[in-house]
Amino acid sequence: MVTFQFLQMLLELIMGKPLNNLEGNVFGSLKVLMIGRSKGNGAWWICQCKCGKQKELRGSDLVQGKINSCGCEHKERIARASTTHGMKYNRTYRLWGAMKNRCNRLNQDYSARGITYEKRWDFFENFLADMGEVPDEMSLDRINVDGNYEKSNCQWATREQQANNTRANVFVEWNGKRQTLAQWAKELNMNYDKLRSRIVRYKWSLDRALSEGNQPEPADVPV
Ligand SMILES: [Zn+2]
C-alpha cells in the first residue's frame, strides 16, 4: 500500500529538500530548530526539548503527534508509575505488619480468641506471594471472622465488603427488631466500630450501647 508518508518521502528525496518546513514549529515539549541530516524515511529535524536536550527526529513523527518530547516525558511517566507501584507495595507492607501486631499483641479481639496467622506469613515475601499487592481502597479481610489469617481465609476487600462479610453474622435483637450490628449502626447513625467496642470491649448492656447514640467521649470509658 502506498501511504501518504511514503509519497512525501519520495517527493522529498526527488526535490532534495523537505516538503514541509517545520523550522520554528512546536510539538509538545519540542521546538524544531533546523533541518537535520537526512537518515532516510523523509526529513529529520533537530529539535530542542524543554528539558534541555537536543534530538534529531523524523518530521512525520512530529507532525503526526507520535513524538512529543526527547523521551524524557516517557521516562517521567514510567517513574510516576513506579512511584504508584511503590506506594501499593508500602501499603501492603503496612497492612501485613498491622495484621501481625493484631495477632501478637494482647488484643481482646484477636489473641484472646486465639486468632493467629500462618507461620510462613512471618515473612513479608510469603505474604506478598500469597495475597499480591493490596488494590486501592481495600484492606485485609478474613472470610471467616473466627478463622486465622491464612491464604485460604483471606482476601482484599473494601470496607463495605468487610462490613457485610465479617459483621453479617452478629445479629442483635433490640426493641423487638432483629438485625445485624452493622445494620443497627447504620440505622442509628452510629460508627460501627464504636458500637461494637461498647458491647464487646466495654461490656455495656445492649440497651445502653444502642440507646446512647453517638455520645462524645468519655462515654466510651469502661464502666
Ligand atoms: Zn526532553
Write out pLDDT tens, residues 118-146.
Answer: 999 988 889 999 999 999 889 998 877 77
Helix or strand or coil: residue 187?
Answer: helix
Instruction: Determine the distance separating the centroid of ligand 1 and the alpha carbon of 12, expressed in angstroms.
Output: 28
**Gap from CA of 88 to ligand 1 centroid (Å):** 28
**Confidence at residue 198, expressed as pLDDT on a 0 to 100 scale:** 85
196 CA from centroid of ligand 1 (Å): 56
Mean local confidence (pLDDT), 178-194: 83
Given this model, what pLDDT does residue 111 score? 62
CA of 44 to the centre of ligand 1 (A): 17
Scored b (16 or more CB within 10 A) or e, 7-20 reads ebbeebeeeeebee
What is the distance between the alpha carbons of residues 160 and 204, in angstroms, rounded to a whole number? 26
Does residue 212 have a pLDDT over 50? Answer: yes
What does the alpha-carbon distance between residue 218 and residue 223 come to, in Å, rounded to a whole number? Answer: 11
pLDDT of amino acid 107: 63
pLDDT, residue 166, reads: 56
Q: How much distance in Å is there from the Cα of 75 to the middle of ligand 1?
A: 9
**Ligand 1 centroid vs 6 CA: distance in angstroms?**
28
Average pLDDT of 164-170?
Answer: 58
Nearest residue to 70 (alpha-carbon basis) of 40, 21, 31: 31
CA of 49 to the centre of ligand 1 (A): 5
Predicted pLDDT at 217: 46
Non-local CB neighbours of 95 within 8 Å, separated by 6+ positions: 134, 139, 140
The Å distance, Cα 13 to ligand 1 centre, comes to 29
Q: How many CB atoms lie within 10 A of CB 122?
A: 10
d(C-alpha 132, C-alpha 135), whole Å: 9
Residues contacting residue 208 through CB under 8 Å, at least 6 positions apart: 198
Question: What digits encode the pLDDT tens for the residues 65-81?
Answer: 889 899 888 777 777 76
Q: What is the pLDDT of residues 91-110, one digit of tens each?
A: 899 999 999 988 887 666 66
Higher pLDDT, 151 or 88: 151
Round to whole Å and give the CA distance between 124 and 88: 14
pLDDT score for 221: 47
Distance from Cα 54 to the centre of ligand 1, integer Å: 8
Interval 52-61 mean pLDDT: 92
Tell me the domain boundaries of the chain: 4-70, 76-166, 171-211
- Whether the full predicted model's pTM is greater than 0.85, yes or no, is no
**How many residues are listed for the chain in this entry?**
223
Q: Report how far ligand 1's centroid is from the alpha carbon of 36 (Å).
A: 18
Tell me, in angstroms, the distance from the centre of ligand 1 to residue 43's CA: 20
Q: Is 58 helix (H, G, I), strand (E, B) or coil?
A: strand
Residue 139 and residue 156: Cα distance in Å, rounded?
5
Percent of the chain past pLDDT 70, that is, above it, reads 80
Q: Would you tell me the crossing angle of helices 72-104 and 124-131 to the nearest 10 degrees?
A: 110
Q: How far is the CA of 34 from the centre of ligand 1 (A)?
A: 17
Ordered strands of the 54-58 beta sheet: 26-27, 30-35, 44-49, 54-58
Say how many Å lie between the CA of residue 60 and the centre of ligand 1.
19
Which residue matches cell numbers 533546523? Answer: 34
Q: What is the mean pLDDT of residues 4-20?
A: 70
CA of 24 to the centre of ligand 1 (A): 17
Using DSSP, state whether 47 is helix, strand or coil.
strand
